[in-house]
Amino acid sequence: MFKSSITIATVSGIPIRLHFSFLLILPFFALVISNNIATIAGMAGVATGDLVVSPFGLGLILAVLLFVSVALHELAHSFVARAQGIGIRDITLMLLGGVAQMEDEIEERGELWMALAGPLFSLLFGGVLLYLLRPATAVLGADVQLVVYYLGFMNVFLAFFNLLPAFPSDGGRVLRSLIARRTNYLQATRIATSIGKIFAFGFAVFGLLTGTIFLILIAFFIYIGASQEYQFNVVRDAFSDFVVSDLMTRDVSTVHRDLTVGELLDRMFAERHSGYPVVNDEGQLVGCVTMYDVQALPEAASRENRVHEIMAHPVISVRPNDDLFSAFKKLSEADIGRLMVVEDGELRGILTRSDIMKAYRLRALRDERARVDM
C-alpha cells in the first residue's frame, strides 16, 4: 500500500519496511533529543559531565532505538493478528511511527486483543528496562544508563499515548470493540470516530498554543484516519447484504478470440461497451479485452490483430456467491473496471464498478423506507 519504501529486515516472514518520510524524521528526532539531552540526563540521574558520546550521537542512537521499539510494538500487534488467522503483508515505519498492513480486516471479536497487544508490549518492554536499570546503575557507564532510561521511559509513554481513545489509535480500537458489544459495529465506529475527532481537535489546539508541531501533525493524522475508517465501514456495511449474483449483469455480450481488432472496435462503437470477455470455440472464458488493450497497440498493425493476441491474460474473477465487499476489494486492489463472474469455468456474468455502486443506492433506498415505516 505504501509505495516509496524499502525492506530493511524480515522478522518471522513479516517484511519490515522504511518509508522515505522516515529518513526525514530520523535526523529531526535525533536533533530534538540531543537538544534536550541535559533534561534527559537529569531525569536519568546522570551528570552531563560523565557523558562520553556527543549529544547528537546519543540523539541518533536513541532515535534509531525508538523506531526499533515502534517496530517491535507493531510486531506485537501482528503476531496477535496472525494467531487469529489474519495475514500480515508488512510493517512500514514512517513519519509518525509504524503501520502493520493486514491482508484482511480483523474479525470484530479479535480486535480487542490485537489492539491491546502493541501497548501491552511497549509497557512491558519499557517497564522491564526501567526495572533492570535500577540495580545495574553502578556497573553501567553514564551513556548506557541514559540510553536505557530514556528508552524505557519512552516505551512506557508510547504505551499510554497509544491507549488514549483517539480512534483510530490502539485505545480508540479498544473503545470501539467495547462499544460494539452493546450496539453494532458501524454504530460503534461512528461513536469512536467522533471521540477520535474530539481528541484530534484537542491535540491541534494544544499543539498550536504550545507551538508543538508534532502534536498538530498527530491531530491531522488522527482526523484523516478516523474519517477514512468510518467511510470504509459504511461501505462495508452497505455491501454486506449482497452477494455478487444479486448485482451482476447476466446477459453478457462476449467476443470470440479470433475476432480482429477492427471488428472489435466496430462492436465497441455499436454497442457502446468498453470491454468484453473473450471466449473460445467451446464458449469458455479465455480472457478479457478492453479499450486500453487496443489503445496500447502500435497504430500500423492494430486493425488486423486478433483479439487473443492483445487481450489481458490473467482474468480476475469472482464466484456468484462471493460477498459483494470482497468483490469490491478485488476490484480496488487490481484497479480494474470489471470482474468476470465465473462458476465451474463458465462465465455467468460480469460485475462492474457501477453494478457495485447500485448496492449503495439500494441500501440507501431501503434505509429511507425503514425510516418512513417507523
Site for Zn ion, rule CB under 5 A: 118, 162, 170
Nearer CB in complex with Zn ion: 77/348:
77
Closest distance between Zn ion and the C-beta of residue 117, in Å? 8
What residues are paired with 343 via a beta bridge? 346
For the bound state, the minimum distance from the C-beta of residue 162 to Zn ion, rounded and expressed in Å, comes to 5
Report how far apart, in Å, the C-alpha atoms of 273 and of each of 244, 266, 277, 337 are: 21, 10, 11, 12
Q: How far is the CB of 72 from Zn ion (least distance, A)?
A: 11
Nearer to Zn ion, 166 or 252 (CB): 166
Select 170 or 355, whichever has its Cβ closest to Zn ion.
170
Contact status, residue 154 vs residue 127, Cβ threshold 8 Å? no
Can you spell out the DSSP letters for 68-102?
HHHHHHHHHHHHHHHHTT--EEEEEEETTEEEEEE
- Kindly write down the DSSP assignment for every residue of 302-323, as one continuous string: GGGSBHHHHSBSS--EE-TTSB
Q: What is the 3-state secondary structure (H, E, C) of 177-235?
A: HHHHCCCCHHHHHHHHHHHHHHHHHHHHHHHHHHCCHHHHHHHHHHHHHHHHHHHHHHH
Identify the active-site residue in 74, 103, 271, 368.
74
The number of residues in the chain equals 374
Complex with Zn ion: residue 80 or 324, whichever CB lies closer? 80
Q: How far is the CB of 126 from Zn ion (least distance, A)?
A: 14
Amino acid letter at 235? V
**Residue linked to cell 491474460:** 313
Residue 74 is a catalytic residue:
yes
Minimum distance from CB of 170 to Zn ion (Å)?
4
Distance CA 314, CA 293 (A): 13
> How far is 10 from 178, CA to CA, in rounded Å?
33
Q: Which is nearer to Zn ion, 82 or 330 (CB)?
A: 82
Residues with a catalytic annotation lie at 74
